[in-house]
Structure 1
Amino acid sequence: MTTGASHPLPARSGPRIGVLGSYGGFNIGDESILSCVLGCLRSLRPDARLVVFSRNAEHTRAHHHAADQVLDWEGVSLNHVLDTLASLDLLVLGGGGILYDGEARRYLRLVRAAQERGVRTFAYAVGAGPLREPDDRAAVRSVLAEMDDVVVRDEESRLVLEEVGLERDVVVTADPALLLRPEPFTDAMMRDEGVPTDARLVGMSVREPGRAAEKLDEGDYHALLADVADFLVRRLDAHVVFLPMERHDVRHAHAVLSHMTAPDQGRILHGSYSPGQVLGFMRHLDLAVGMRLHFVIFAALSGLPVLPLPYSGKVFDFARRTGAPALVGVAREQAGLLLAEVDRLWDEFPQRRDALHARVRELRATATQTCERCGDLLDDIDGGRSASAPEPADLTVPSAGSLSV
Structure 2
Amino acid sequence: MSGPRIGLLGRLGSGNLGNDASLEVVLDLVRRRRPDARVGVMCSGPRVVSERYAVPAVALHHSAGHGPAAWRVLVGVVVDAVRVSAWVRRQDVVIVPGMGTLESTLHERAWQMPWTLFVMALSGRLWHTRVALVGVGAGAVPEPVQRWLLVAAARMAGFRSFRDEQSREEMQRMGLRSHDPVVPDVVLALPVPERPAPPARSVGVGVMAWSGTNGERGRAAELAAAYVVEMGRVVSLLLERGFAVSLLVGDDDDVPVARRVAAIVGEDRVTLVLPTTPAELVEAVASVEVVVATRYHNVVGALRCATPVVALCYAPKHHALMAMMGVGELCHDLRGLDAGRLVDQVEDVHARRQAVRAGLVRRLEEVRPVLEEHLGAVAGRVLRAAPEVPA
In structure 1, the residue matched to 2:315 is 312
Residue from 242, 246, 260 that aligns with 2:247:
242
Q: Counterpart of 2:58 in 1: which secondary structure?
A: strand
The 8 Å contact of residues 121 and 156 in structure 2, kept in 1 or not, is answered as: no
3-state secondary structure, aligned to 2:137: strand
What does residue range 381-392 of structure 1 map to in structure 2 within 5 Å? Answer: 384=385, 387-389=386-388
TM superposition shift of 1:198: 5.8
* Distance in 2 between residues matched to 1:353 and 1:81, nearest whole Å: 44
1:263-274 equivalences in 2 (<5 Å): 263-270=267-274, 273-274=276-277
- SS of match in other structure, 1:96: coil
> Is residue 60 of structure 2 the alignment partner of residue 73 of structure 1?
yes
Mapping of residues 17-166 of structure 1, within 5 Å? 17-65=6-54, 67=55, 69-75=56-62, 78=80, 79-101=82-104, 102=109, 103-166=113-176
In the TM superposition, residue 250 of structure 1 has moved relative to its aligned partner by: 1.4
Q: Determine which structure has greater relative contact order: mean sequence separation of CA pairs < 8 Å that are 6+ residues apart, divided by chain length.
A: 1
Task: Say if 1:186 and 1:343 are closer, same or farther in 2 by CA, change over 3 A.
Answer: closer
Q: Distance in 1 between matches of 2:271 and 2:12?
A: 28
Secondary structure at the residue paired with 1:171?
coil
- Equivalent-residue separation in structure 2 for 1:331 and 1:109 (angstroms): 39
SS of the aligned residue for 2:313 comes to: coil
Q: C-alpha distance in 2, partners of 1:178/1:146?
A: 27
Q: TM-score, normalised by structure 2?
A: 0.83
- In 2, Cα distance between equivalents of 1:87 and 1:96: 24
Match of 2:263 in 1: 258
- State the match for 2:180 in structure 1: 170
Shift of 1:378: 3.8
- 1: CA distance between counterparts of 2:150 and 2:225? 37
Counterpart residue identity of residue 126, structure 1? V
Which deviates the most, 286-295 or 78-87?
78-87
Q: Is the 8 A contact 2:349 2:356 kept in 1?
A: no
Give CA deviations for 1:106-160 in whole Å, capped at 9, x if unaligned: 2221121122111111111111124122122222333322322210111221121
Closer, same or farther: CA 265–364 of 1 in aligned 2, 3 Å: farther
Task: Please point out which of 337, 355, 367 is paired with 2:371.
Answer: 367
- Find the residue that maps to 1:342 and give its secondary structure: helix
Summarize deviations over 1:66-88 as a string: whole Å, max 9, x none: x3x32223117554543332232
Are residues 327 and 198 of structure 1, via their aligned partners in 2, closer, same or farther at CA, if it must alter by over 3 Å? closer
Structure 1 residues not aligned, in runs of 5+: 1-11, 188-196, 395-405
- Name the CA distance, whole Å, in 2 between partners of 1:251 and 1:390: 49
Instruction: Give yes or no for the alignment of 1:232 onto 2:238.
Output: yes
Query: Which residue of the other structure, out of 269, 279, 282, is the alignment partner of 1:279?
Result: 282
Q: TM-score, normalized by length of structure 1? A: 0.80
Q: Structure 1's 223 and 146: CA in aligned 2 closer, same or farther, altered over 3 A?
A: closer
Task: Give the length in aligned residue pairs.
Answer: 361
Equivalent residue number for residue 294 of structure 1: 297
Q: Aligned ranges for residues 182-197 of structure 1 at < 5 Å?
A: 182=192
The CA deviation string for residues 173-231 of structure 1, in whole angstroms up to 9 with x for no partner, is: 121211222369999xxxxxxxxx86542111111344499998544432322232223
Residue 91 of structure 1 aligns to a residue in which SS?
strand
Q: Is the 8 A contact 2:132 2:382 kept in 1?
A: no
- Per-residue deviation, 1:244: 1.4
Match of 2:229 in 1: 223
Change (3 A) 1:46 1:388: farther
Structure 1 pair 202/390, CA: closer, same or farther in 2 (3 Å)?
farther
CA contact (8 A) 2:98 2:134 kept: yes
Flag the 1:218–1:33 CA change in 2: closer, same or farther, 3 A: closer
Q: Is the 8 A contact 2:212 2:224 kept in 1?
A: no
1:184·1:277 contact (CA, 8 Å) conserved in 2? Answer: no
- State the alpha-carbon separation in 2 of the partners of residues 374 and 345 from structure 1: 37
- Give, in whole Å, the separation in 2 of the partners of 1:183 and 1:277: 11
Deviation of 1:60 after TM superposition, in Å, equals: 1.0
Q: Distance in 2 between matches of 1:108 and 1:364?
A: 32
Which residues of structure 2 form unaligned runs of 5+?
64-78
Number of the residue aligned with 1:193: none
Distance 1:148 1:219, change over 3 A: closer
Alpha-carbon separation, structure 2, partners of 1:300 and 1:371: 20
Deviation at 1:17, TM superposition (A): 1.2
Q: Counterpart of 2:291 in 1: which secondary structure? A: strand
Deviation digits for residues 350-386 of structure 1 (CA, Å, limit 9, x no counterpart) = 333322111122233333343222122147xx5x5xx
